[in-house]
Structure 1
Amino acid sequence: MKYSIDHKSPVPLHVQAEMLLRKIIEDEEYQNGKTIPNEVELAKQLAISRTTLRQAINKLVFEGLLVRKKRFGTKVANGAVSSRSNNWLSFSQEMKLRGVTIKNFELHVTWVYPDETLANFFEIKTDRKILKMERVRGKPNEPFVYFVSYFHPRVGLTGDEDFKRPLYEILENDHSIIATLSKEEITAIAADEFIANKLKMEVGSPVLFRKRLVFDQADRQIEYNLGYYKGDSFVYTVESSR
């Protein structure tokens, strides 16, 4: 099959390549294990550099949608799903709708240098500091979730904001950043010593681990969020309609 992108479009080439790859991923033959087109051949077909194409591929590998193996090429990951949700809320907004009173047990805001994973996600260098926010939250009598969030410098957060307000309300009203896309991965893990201490639980207790990647209207990275929920204190519900 022949593939192409629009070189006259204002949309960056690596973004167009990423969009094309997402369409390829959804193709049934690739879902069934067929290797996606060779990097060299696809870059030549699209008339872009391999570096530009690799930037798009690396993002999808990072999201767990593609798997790259030496000498075997790149394939769609088993069960790979890229979900786009247009009706999701911040934790504060969600708990308010549920009528749950939330207490903030800890709040720490610092500026840190990103590791390779964060730098690759934000598409920045590791020598550029980013804002890190850690929060332990829960019901008035016990904490049940530990969040750690990292934000792209472009967002404009200073660390002096009133984080008692809903996060996405702050981003939209104070910084004109509208979060429109959330990509999430949810897994079950056992609490290590650090998480157990944060959530006042036994080491090895069940924890619901959620990784949330948040993007703005232009599909630009805003937030890299990790959430650790007490397994016996929180139910994560997904509602789908057809």
Structure 2
Amino acid sequence: MKLKIDHKSQIPLHIQAEELLRRLIESPEYIDGKLLPNEVELSKILSISRTTLRQSINKLVYDGLLTRKKGVGTKVVESKSLSSKSKNWMSFSQEMSARGIPIKNFELHVSWVLPEKRIASFFGIKEDKKILKLVRLRGRPEGPFVYFESYFHPIVGLTGEEDYKAPLYEMLEKAHGIIAMVSKEEISAQLADEFIAEKLETKIGAPILFRKRFVYDINESPIEYNLGYYKADSFVYTVESRRE
């Protein structure tokens, strides 16, 4: 099967490569769990960088079509082992959409900042390396109930010109081929200080649900450090645990 990327096309290279690989692994030659050519060979065949190729492979791993094993390579999942994956966590926009709640952006700001020590430590970068900061004040049409601060690792490749009104993780995948795979969260109760009280249009000392979210990509590399401040009387956080 001939694999050819159209470098003049407006379709991003990693999307083209993903589609070609999907066709490749559906061919009789690979359908029974055969190893793909190594990344160096594949990137030469497609005339793309290994970084771009890796984005495409990561998406197929996420979709359950490929598996990776260090020292062995990338292997096609045998058809009998294919399974669909459900997203057990979503971006705020997706969460609210699923609940049928209309959401309004009251503020949306993008800036480049020097990371605080805790954020630099999480990303594994130096404190003199600027990162993109996204601030959003969101809520129902009648008023805000959550204030977000998101910080992104430079490896994500954000420019600040992206559409930040779109669902965040969908945008990261479509614009940069970054798949948000793992979310680790810390949830605690706080009292609103003057800044948060003003943003959420509540009283100083009012109860606030504080959520830290640490987001990792498919390679378990950190991509986002997120802080969320919710009005306690406007938001309920539900956790479902299922024994298997």
2:108 is matched with 107
Q: 1:167 Cα shift?
A: 0.2
1:94 is matched with 95
CA distance in structure 2 between the partners assigned to 1:105 and 1:128 by the alignment: 29
1:163 is matched with 164
Q: Which runs of 5+ in 2 are unaligned?
A: 1-85
Residue pair 1:86, 1:180 contacting (<8 A) in 2 also: no
Report the 3-state secondary structure (helix = DSSP H, G, I; strand = E; otherwise coil) of the residue aligned with 1:106: strand
Q: Which runs of 5+ in 1 are unaligned?
A: 1-84
2:123 is matched with 122
Report the 3-state secondary structure (helix = DSSP H, G, I; strand = E; otherwise coil) of the residue aligned with 1:114: coil
CA distance in structure 2 between the partners assigned to 1:149 and 1:106 by the alignment: 13
2:155 matches 1:154: yes
2:110 matches 1:133: no
Task: Say what the alpha-carbon RMSD is for the aligned residues.
Answer: 1.0
Q: 1:164 Cα shift?
A: 1.0
2:211 is matched with 210
TM-score normalized with structure 2 length: 0.64
Report the 3-state secondary structure (helix = DSSP H, G, I; strand = E; otherwise coil) of the residue aligned with 1:236: coil
CA distance in structure 1 between the partners assigned to 2:241 and 2:228 by the alignment: 22
Amino acid at match of 1:144: F
Report the 3-state secondary structure (helix = DSSP H, G, I; strand = E; otherwise coil) of the residue aligned with 2:122: helix
Q: 1:189 Cα shift?
A: 0.4
Report % sequence identity: 67
Q: 1:215 Cα shift?
A: 0.2
Q: 1:162 Cα shift?
A: 1.0
CA distance in structure 2 between the partners assigned to 1:120 and 1:213 by the alignment: 12
CA distance in structure 1 between the partners assigned to 2:242 and 2:87 by the alignment: 13
2:182 is matched with 181
For the pair shown, the structure with the greater C-alpha radius of gyration is: 2
CA distance in structure 1 between the partners assigned to 2:191 and 2:108 by the alignment: 23
CA deviations on 1:106-164 (whole Å, 9 max, x unpaired) are 01110001111111000000111000011000000010000000000000111111111
CA distance in structure 2 between the partners assigned to 1:96 and 1:157 by the alignment: 25
Amino acid at match of 2:169: Y
Report the 3-state secondary structure (helix = DSSP H, G, I; strand = E; otherwise coil) of the residue aligned with 1:239: coil
TM-score normalized with structure 1 length: 0.64
Report the 3-state secondary structure (helix = DSSP H, G, I; strand = E; otherwise coil) of the residue aligned with 1:124: coil
Structure 1 residue ranges, 4+ long, deviating more than 2 angstroms after superposition: none
Q: 1:86 Cα shift?
A: 5.4
